[in-house]
Amino acid sequence: MSKLALGFIPLTDCAPLVVAQARGLFAEEGLSVTLSREASWATIRDKVAVGALDAAHMLAPMALATTIGARCEPTPMIAPLALAANGAAVTLSQPVASALSFAEPTPQAIGRALARHVRERAGQGKPALTFAVVFPFSIHNYALRYWLAEAGLDPDRDVRIVVTPPPRMVDQLRTGEVDGISVGAPWNTVAVNEGLGRIALRTSNFWRGGPDKVLGLTGAAAEADPARLAALLRALVRAQAWADAPANRAELIALLAEPRHVGAAPSAIAAALDDELVFLRGEVAVPRLEHARWLLAQMRRWGQVDHRVDPGLVADQVYRPDLALEALRALDLAPAMLTPPNLLFDGQGFEA
pLDDT tens, 54-103? 999 999 999 999 999 999 999 999 999 999 999 999 999 999 999 999 88
CB burial readout 283-298, b (16+ within 10 A) else e? bbbbbbbbbbbbbbeb
Which pLDDT band, with edges at 50, 70 and 90, does 344 fall under? low
Give the pLDDT score at 347: 47
Note whether residue 349 is domain-resident: no
Per-residue pLDDT, averaged over 185-209, amounts to: 93
Which pLDDT band, with edges at 50, 70 and 90, does 15 fall under? very high
What digits encode the pLDDT tens for the residues 18-52?
A: 999 999 999 999 999 999 999 999 999 999 999 99
Which pLDDT band, with edges at 50, 70 and 90, does 348 fall under? very low
CA 71 to CA 236: how far, in whole Å? 30
CA 34 to CA 38: how far, in whole Å? 12
Same domain, 180 and 243: no
Note whether residue 303 is domain-resident: yes
Question: Which of 188, 206, 224 delimits the end of a domain?
Answer: 206
- % the chain with pLDDT above 70: 97
> How wide is the angle at C-alpha 321 spanned by C-alphas 319 and 323, nearest 5°?
105
Number of domains observed in the structure of the chain = 2
Indicate which CATH number applies to the domain containing 252: 3.40.190.10
Same domain, 159 and 276: no
- Residues 6 or more apart whose CB falls under 8 angstroms from that of 278 comprise 84, 85, 86, 209, 244, 284
Give the pLDDT score at 164: 97
Give the pLDDT score at 104: 87
Query: Contact, 57 vs 215, CB < 8 A?
Result: yes
Same domain, 231 and 313: yes
Same domain, 125 and 250: no
What digits encode the pLDDT tens for the residues 289-313?
A: 999 999 999 999 999 998 888 989 9
CA 197 to CA 203: how far, in whole Å? 17
Q: What is the CA radius of gyration of the chain?
A: 19
What digits encode the pLDDT tens for the residues 149-173?
A: 999 999 999 999 999 999 999 999 9
Q: Is 141 exposed, middle or buried (0-12, 13-18, 19+ CB in 10 A)?
A: buried
Query: Contact, 326 vs 333, CB < 8 A?
Result: no
Same domain, 190 and 233: no
Q: Which domain holds residue 188?
A: 88-206
**How many angstroms separate the Cα of 205 from the Cα of each of 21, 194, 234, 284, 313?**
32, 23, 31, 17, 29
Which pLDDT band, with edges at 50, 70 and 90, does 345 fall under? low
Give the pLDDT score at 60: 96
Same domain, 9 and 61: yes
Note whether residue 68 is domain-resident: yes
Note whether residue 230 is domain-resident: yes
* pTM assigned to the model: 0.94
Note whether residue 351 is domain-resident: no
Question: Which of 156, 173, 206 delimits the end of a domain?
Answer: 206
CA 215 to CA 267: how far, in whole Å? 27
Same domain, 73 and 221: yes
CB neighbourhood size of 336 (10 A): 5
Give the pLDDT score at 273: 94
CA 203 to CA 212: how far, in whole Å? 9
Note whether residue 348 is domain-resident: no
Question: Which of 206, 234, 269 delimits the end of a domain?
Answer: 206
Same domain, 75 and 109: no
Cα 50 versus chain centre, distance: 22
Note whether residue 104 is domain-resident: yes
- The letter for the amino acid at 263 is G
Same domain, 82 and 92: no
Note whether residue 312 is domain-resident: yes
Between 246-250, 256-260, 292-296, 341-345, the lowest mean confidence (pLDDT) is in 341-345
Alpha-carbon torsion angle 139, 145, 150, 151, nearest 10: 130
Per-residue pLDDT, averaged over 241-265, amounts to: 97
3-state class of 212 per DSSP? strand
Same domain, 77 and 116: no
- The letter for the amino acid at 52 is A
Judge if the upstream peptide bond of residue 74 is cis by omega within 30 degrees of 0.
no
Taking the CA atoms of 101, 183, 84 and 63 in sequence, report the sign of the dihedral they define: positive
β partners of residue 4? 33
Same domain, 332 and 234: yes
Which pLDDT band, with edges at 50, 70 and 90, does 341 fall under? low
Same domain, 314 and 244: yes
